[in-house]
């Protein structure tokens, strides 16, 4: 049984003028807190000294109350560690299951919530998202991350902490990190920017959200890629926008189709370097066409550049933002793929005239980003660890990608079509007619094979079925077995 090291005092007040003795008031308050489940089995109880001090009374009534609670089995004590709510009460205390909390029926007058809640699908984890390993999406090779360097930088930061670092920070983020990112983006991604245009956010998702709050109104028509990134769609739906699914082909977003469907869209959300999930790189002519449309229509382009550090057969593709001469592109990047996703650090390069709007919205949302990891990350980049890590990981992921492609070709021949294996940490395979990806994914999960189906990436009817296979978190040695398992799941009778 996990013990909580809280030692928080429950809300107890004692009335010195009451007829009821003090020890009895304290005993009743603890008993009520335990029976009412505000204090739970295994949780630490404050020391008698601390509680007496807090209540402003002598220690004796507290000692007496604790002695009785111990004698009756509500408390247990461990020498040297203090007193805890007894774990033998578990039977009498219902488990605090998340599900039972959610399904609690509350009888009352109407309990209205915002309409946008009903625009979002219920948050749940489908079968293919439960496990870790082949071929879970959005996993990085965390075992290859230089944690010894990272933890040294964290320790150094903590040792040299300035008291001013504990105060609220700049809503745009920590200047040193913004400068470091600016140097990286100009050199490696051909982004046109000054550090003062860069805002630090908690991953691309927050950047998408802030951009929608600044640029879009409820009902604004917005182009999204079809198929596309489901979290962009969910964020735009929550903002009440009208989603216009624009097809993608081997050249990326079909701009002419978008213009035909809705010329006056307020914005286009695109991933031109490595379209998600089909992996196309937007061609130069499409890029120019998209920029031209945005300039003529007075629209915005939000560029999601989430994983383009990892391109295997050629140099990384320059950003769309770098081609933009009319400041129509909002450029978003993240450290989720290039470092690790729980870091929750990303950035937005904002057109100069929009900086004040982004700043106001951000400040109203969450004031400013947390300081610790911004400072550590700035040092990680400035001391050369970041560029070294990218170089190393490009080779490591390149090897995984190559093994995966070889194994798929060997096991499946021309049955599966490969898409987007040139970059990033995933590739997509499409299935011949007759296969249903969701059903196969559910079947595969029962064998601990995690296949993200392609069809839910479509807003409209899915024109293809397939799987988006993440290879970031799979070791080269595991890949052949996992592909063989994929074959067994897909073609059970032929695999025997
Ligand atoms: C298309 C796309 N954009 C962005 C991200 C990264 O999001 P975040 O920075 O919020 O972790 C992902 C992660 O899988 C993605 O697939």
Mean pLDDT of 212-232: 97
| Cβ atoms of residues 268 and 296 within 8 Å | no
| Cβ atoms of residues 111 and 105 within 8 Å | no
Query: Closest Cα to atom 3, ligand 1: which residue?
Result: 306
**Which has the minimum average pLDDT: 127-131, 220-224, 420-424?**
127-131
Side-chain half-sphere exposure of 240, counting CA atoms within 13 A: 9
Q: What is the pLDDT at residue 104?
A: 62
Per-residue pLDDT at 333 exceeds 70: yes
Residue-wise pLDDT tens digits, 278-313: 999 999 999 999 999 999 999 999 999 999 899 988
Nearest residue to 169 (alpha-carbon basis) of 371, 5, 345: 371
Side-chain half-sphere exposure of 86, counting CA atoms within 13 A: 16
| pLDDT band per the 50, 70, 90 thresholds, residue 494 | low
Q: What is the pLDDT at residue 308?
A: 86
Helical residues (DSSP H) of 226-283, grouped into ranges: 230-238, 255-262
For residue 359, give both structure tokens: 């700043």
Residue 275, ligand 1, Cβ within 6 A: no
Helix (H, G, I), strand (E, B) or coil at 192: coil
In which residue are the tokens 């096991």 written?
411
User: What end-to-end distance do the CA atoms of the chain give, in Å?
Assistant: 45
Per-residue pLDDT at 13 exceeds 90: no
For residue 341, give both structure tokens: 């996703």
Q: Which helix (H) or strand (E) holds 224?
A: strand 221-226
**Which has the minimum average pLDDT: 75-89, 233-247, 330-344, 461-475?**
75-89
For residue 390, give both structure tokens: 């990218």
| Cβ atoms of residues 297 and 326 within 8 Å | no
Mean pLDDT of 266-275: 97
- Rounded to whole angstroms, the Cα distance separating 216 from 205 reads 16
The Å distance, Cα 250 to ligand 1 centre, comes to: 21
Mean pLDDT of 306-322: 90
For residue 220, give both structure tokens: 């604004």
Residue 304, ligand 1, Cβ within 6 A: yes
Q: What is the pLDDT at residue 92?
A: 56
Residue 273, ligand 1, Cβ within 6 A: no
pTM metric for this prediction: 0.92
Residue-wise pLDDT tens digits, 127-180: 888 788 899 999 999 999 999 999 999 999 999 999 999 999 999 999 999 999
Residue 232, ligand 1, Cβ within 6 A: no
* Mean pLDDT over the full length of the chain: 92
Nearest residue to 343 (alpha-carbon basis) of 318, 376, 366, 315: 376
Residue 286 gets which letter from DSSP?
Answer: H
The Å distance, Cα 477 to ligand 1 centre, comes to: 26
Looking at 36-161, which runs of residues are DSSP E strands? 44-45, 75-78, 82-85
Residue 43, ligand 1, Cβ within 6 A: no
Residue 267 to residues 299, 330, 351, 480: CA-CA distances in angstroms? 5, 10, 14, 42
Residue 202, ligand 1, Cβ within 6 A: no
Query: Closest Cα to atom 12, ligand 1: which residue?
Result: 306
Q: What is the pLDDT at residue 5?
A: 45
For residue 75, give both structure tokens: 């408390």
| Cβ atoms of residues 42 and 3 within 8 Å | yes
Residue-wise pLDDT tens digits, 83-140: 999 988 755 555 555 555 665 666 779 989 988 888 888 888 888 887 888 999 999 9
Residue 138, ligand 1, Cβ within 6 A: yes
- Rounded to whole angstroms, the Cα distance separating 391 from 404 reads 20
Percent above pLDDT 90 for the chain = 83
Query: Closest Cα to atom 15, ligand 1: which residue?
Result: 306
The Å distance, Cα 304 to ligand 1 centre, comes to: 8
Q: What is the pLDDT at residue 314?
A: 83
- Which residue among 181, 231, 308 is best mutated to probe the pocket of ligand 1, counting the most ligand atoms within 8 A of its Cβ? 231
Q: What is the pLDDT at residue 305?
A: 97
Per-residue pLDDT at 274 exceeds 70: yes
Residue 227, ligand 1, Cβ within 6 A: no
Residue 5 gets which letter from DSSP?
Answer: -
Residue 369 to residues 204, 205, 357: CA-CA distances in angstroms? 13, 14, 17
- Rounded to whole angstroms, the Cα distance separating 438 from 376 reads 41
- Rounded to whole angstroms, the Cα distance separating 323 from 300 reads 14
Per-residue pLDDT at 476 exceeds 60: yes
Mean pLDDT of 184-200: 97
In which residue are the tokens 């911004």 written?
374
Q: What is the pLDDT at residue 179?
A: 98
Ligand 1 closest atom vs CA 229: 1
The Å distance, Cα 205 to ligand 1 centre, comes to: 7
Per-residue pLDDT at 4 exceeds 60: no
Ligand 1 closest atom vs CA 304: 3
Of the spans 1-15, 130-144, 358-372, which averages the highest pLDDT?
358-372
Q: What is the pLDDT at residue 295?
A: 98
């Amino acid at each position: 049984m996990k013990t909580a090291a809280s030692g928080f005092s429950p809300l107890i007040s004692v009335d010195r003028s009451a007829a009821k003795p003090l020890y009895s008031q304290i005993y009743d308050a603890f008993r009520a807190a335990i029976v009412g489940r505000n204090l739970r089995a295994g949780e630490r109880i404050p020391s008698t000294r601390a509680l007496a001090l807090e209540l402003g009374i002598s220690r004796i009534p507290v000692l007496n109350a604790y002695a009785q609670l111990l004698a009756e089995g509500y408390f247990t004590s461990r020498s040297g560690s203090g007193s805890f709510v007894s774990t033998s009460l578990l039977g009498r205390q219902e488990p605090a299951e998340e599900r039972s909390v959610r399904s609690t029926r509350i009888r009352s007058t109407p309990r209205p919530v915002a309409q946008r809640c009903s625009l979002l699908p219920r948050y749940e984890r489908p079968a293919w998202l439960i496990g870790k390993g082949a071929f879970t999406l959005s996993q990085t090779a965390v075992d290859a991350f230089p944690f010894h360097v990272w933890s040294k930088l964290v320790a150094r930061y903590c040792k040299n902490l300035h008291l001013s670092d504990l105060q609220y920070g700049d809503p745009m983020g920590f200047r040193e990190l913004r400068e470091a990112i600016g140097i990286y983006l100009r050199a490696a991604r051909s982004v046109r920017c000054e550090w003062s245009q860069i805002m630090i956010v908690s991953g691309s998702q927050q950047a998408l959200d802030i951009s929608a709050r600044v640029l879009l109104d409820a009902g604004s028509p917005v182009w999204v890629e079809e198929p596309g990134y489901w979290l962009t769609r969910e964020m735009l739906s929550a903002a009440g926008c009208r989603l216009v699914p624009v097809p993608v082909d081997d050249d990326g977003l079909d701009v002419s189709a978008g213009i035909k469907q809705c010329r006056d869209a307020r914005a286009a959300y695109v991933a031109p370097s490595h379209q998600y999930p089909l992996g196309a790189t937007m061609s130069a002519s499409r890029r120019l066409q998209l920029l031209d449309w945005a300039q003529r229509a007075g629209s915005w382009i939000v560029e999601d550049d989430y994983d383009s550090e990892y391109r295997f057969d050629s140099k990384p593709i320059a950003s769309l933002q770098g081609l933009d001469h009319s400041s129509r592109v909002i450029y978003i990047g993240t450290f989720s793929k290039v470092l690790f996703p729980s870091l929750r650090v990303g950035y937005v390069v904002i057109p100069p005239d929009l900086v004040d709007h982004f700043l106001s919205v951000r400040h109203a949302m969450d004031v400013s980003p947390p300081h610790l990891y911004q400072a550590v990350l700035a040092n990680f980049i400035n001391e050369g660890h970041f560029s070294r890590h990218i170089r190393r990981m490009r080779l490591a992921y390149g090897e995984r990608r190559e093994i995966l492609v070889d194994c798929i070709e060997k096991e499946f021949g021309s049955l599966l079509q490969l898409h987007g294996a040139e970059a990033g940490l995933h590739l997509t395979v499409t299935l011949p007619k007759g296969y249903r990806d969701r059903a196969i994914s559910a079947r595969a999960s029962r064998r601990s094979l995690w296949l993200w189906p392609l069809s839910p990436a479509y807003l409209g009817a899915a024109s293809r079925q397939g799987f988006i296979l993440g290879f970031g978190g799979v070791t080269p040695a595991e890949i052949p077995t996992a592909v063989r398992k994929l074959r067994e799941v897909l073609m059970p009778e032929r695999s025997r």
